[in-house]
Amino acid sequence: MRMARWRPYLLGLLGLAAITFPFLWLQLAPDFDKNTVGVVWAPQHGLEFFGDMSTVFVIGFLIWVGVQVNRRFGLDKALAANAVWQKAGSIWTHSWAWLVVPLIFLIVPLSIRTDAMRAAGTAPWVSTSTLGLFTFVGLYMLLAVGLNITVGMTGLLVLGYAGFYAFGAYFFALSQQYFSFFPWWLAAPLAFVLGGGVGYLLGLPCLRLRGDYLAIVTLGFAEAFRELMRNLDVTGGDKGIVLKDSSIFRAFAGLSHSQVCYAVTALVLVLTVFLVQRLCHSPVGRAWIAIRENEVAAEAVGVPVVQMKLLAFSLSAAIAAVAGVIYGAKDGFVSPAMCEFQQSIMVLAMVILGGLGNSYGALLGAGLLYLVPEYLKVLPSAIQNSPALSAIVPGFVRDSFQHLSDYRWLLFGVVMVLMMLYRPQGLIGGSRRKTEMLHT
């Protein structure tokens, strides 16, 4: 009978309801005079929770429906078999046409003269704040690509990635503040080398052993680095370092300040992706993949496992340091809060969402994870401004958007678990990658 198939799920749901019962439906009522505590029945808490999550449930349901439809009708296979799509794909992979897209991302935002357009009375397509947003996305993309090398390609978990990011930023800030003769454009390459060096030193003791240790060691490093920066006066303590110039980048050649920041970030990003891709499609990259698949077999086949791991990790650290330098140069402000665990987890989630081992996946993951919460913040007022949308979207869904940013981390967690369970190859991995991940 079909009921029997659903029984374990029902039991599970019941169990979950039971163990979340007190937290959702009861509330603590401390009595401060007697120093005791009581509980009150507070269903509005739980109802609010489910109400706010209703949007998520709706979206999740839609995704599930989409997946089922796709499975039933074989839509993506039909797309892959389509001649036009295949031609586009082959142009893409076999010619230089692919350069067009990065160029679009590079040139379009820079060519819009926002001030001129404003003077002409038309709304700018890419406003200053949007550019700022995209610059941040670019930085996170850079971080994701860097982390992808160690976590995605070589299969080593890194938990304290933000530590290297902060290292680069502090290096830049300190060099600017105390060695003012130090030319700022030398900071990035030097940070690359130093960041790589730190990564190498950290990796040496742990990469000889189980890869799992790397996770804890990097986490410990991030925490220790944060504490060190906080304790020492020379690094500004908790306030961080506020540089004299609010930004190294100045308006230049007719481009506004934010456009210059965007340009620099985009250029560095494109360069990095290019280099990393070249590396990944070389014997080095293949060695990394071999290590990820089966370390012992790789060693048996002659891959210098420890050196390759160290290379991957050092490179990741180096890229993070460069990203840190860009951040410091852009904002003129660094603080110990940069190396918090939450930052590291966010970058990790970006890599996982996009697809482990795929640089483009990392870029997509970074774009989505950073921009979607921002859009959600903007969405309520955008819906209000547009009568058409207001009609379609019901009130309580709109309200839940307001609160959704509170639930951001909750959803991160859920997304990570779901991704690992159902789509470990990430958003753009193929089914072969899924098999690799799930069945070593």
Query: Among residue numbers 22 through 41, which ones bind another protein (CB under 8 A)?
Result: 22-24, 26, 28-39
Q: What is the DSSP letter of 357?
A: T
> Does 331 help bind another protein (rule: CB under 8 A)?
yes
Among residues 70, 130, 200, 284, the one that binds another protein under rule CB under 8 A: 130
Residue 416 in contact with another protein, rule: CB under 8 A: yes
Q: Please identify, using beta-carbon distances, which residue of 20 and 282 lies nearer to another protein.
A: 20
Got the DSSP string for 383-405? HHH-HHHHHHS-HHHHHHHHHHG
The residue assigned the tokens 């163990």 is 19
Q: Which of residues 41-80 bind another protein (CB under 8 A)?
A: 45-46, 49, 80
Closest contact distance (angstroms) between CB of 88 and another protein is 6
DSSP class of 250? -
Q: How many residues bind another protein (CB under 8 A)?
A: 129
Nearer to another protein, 184 or 299 (CB): 299
- Choose the stretch contacting another protein; rule: CB under 8 A; options: 182-190, 238-246, 283-291, 393-401: 238-246
Binder among 379, 400, 401, 423 for another protein (CB under 8 A): 379
Contact yes or no for 345/120 (Cβ under 8 A):
no
Among 324, 358, 401, 423, binds another protein (CB under 8 A): 358
Helix (H) or strand (E) holding 174: helix 161-178
Q: How far is the CB of 185 from another protein (least distance, A)?
A: 23
Please pick, from the candidates 138, 195, 240, 324, the single residue that binds another protein as defined by CB under 8 A. 240
Give the nearest distance from C-beta 68 to another protein in angstroms: 20
Residue 332 and residue 246 in contact, taking contact as beta carbons nearer than 8 Å: yes
Give me Rg for the CA atoms of the chain. 25
Question: What are residue 40's DSSP bridge partners?
Answer: 27
Residue span binding another protein (CB under 8 A) among the ranges 60-68, 97-105, 174-182, 260-268: 97-105
Angle between helix 161-178 and helix 341-354 axes, rounded to 10 deg: 120
Hey, how many other C-beta atoms are within 10 angstroms of the C-beta on 17? 11
* Cα angle, residue 430 at apex, residues 424 and 431 outer, rounded to 5°: 75
Asked whether 425 and 292 are in contact (CB, 8 A), the reply is: no
Among 110, 142, 144, 155, binds another protein (CB under 8 A): 155
Q: How far is residue 430's CA from residue 438's CA, in Å, rounded to a whole number?
A: 13
Is residue 142 a contact point for another protein (CB under 8 A)? Answer: no
Q: How far is the CB of 83 from another protein (least distance, A)?
A: 13
- Shortest distance, CB of residue 318 to another protein, whole angstroms? 20
Which of the stretches 303-311, 316-324, 359-367, 389-397 binds another protein when contact is defined by CB under 8 A?
A: 359-367
Nearer to another protein, 189 or 205 (CB): 205
Closest CA to 321 of 211, 202, 210: 202
CB-based contact 275:147 (threshold 8 Å): no
Choose, by CB under 8 A, the member of 208, 250, 278, 281 that binds another protein.
Answer: 208
How many CA atoms, within 13 angstroms, populate the side-chain half-sphere of residue 313? Answer: 30
Q: Under the criterion CB under 8 A, does residue 360 sit at the interface with another protein?
A: yes
Distance CA 295, CA 304 (A): 10
Stretch that binds another protein, among 92-100, 263-271, 283-291, 391-399 (CB under 8 A): 92-100
Q: Which of residues 164-193 bind another protein (CB under 8 A)?
A: none
CA 352, chain centre distance (Å): 8
Q: In a 3-state reduction of DSSP, which class is residue 255?
A: strand
150 binds another protein (CB under 8 A): no
Residues in 299-328 that interact with another protein by CB under 8 A: none
Is-contact 406 53, C-beta < 8 A? no
The binder of another protein chosen from 255, 332, 347, 401 (CB under 8 A): 332
Two tokens, residue 289: 């993949």
DSSP for 42-58, written as a single string: -HHHHHHHHHHHHHHHH
Indicate whether 330 belongs to the interface with another protein (CB under 8 A).
Answer: no
Helix (DSSP H) and strand (DSSP E) numbers for the chain: 20, 4
Output 312 or 437, the one with its CB closest to another protein. Answer: 437
* Residues 264-303 as x/- pattern, contact with another protein by CB under 8 A: ----------------------------x---x-------
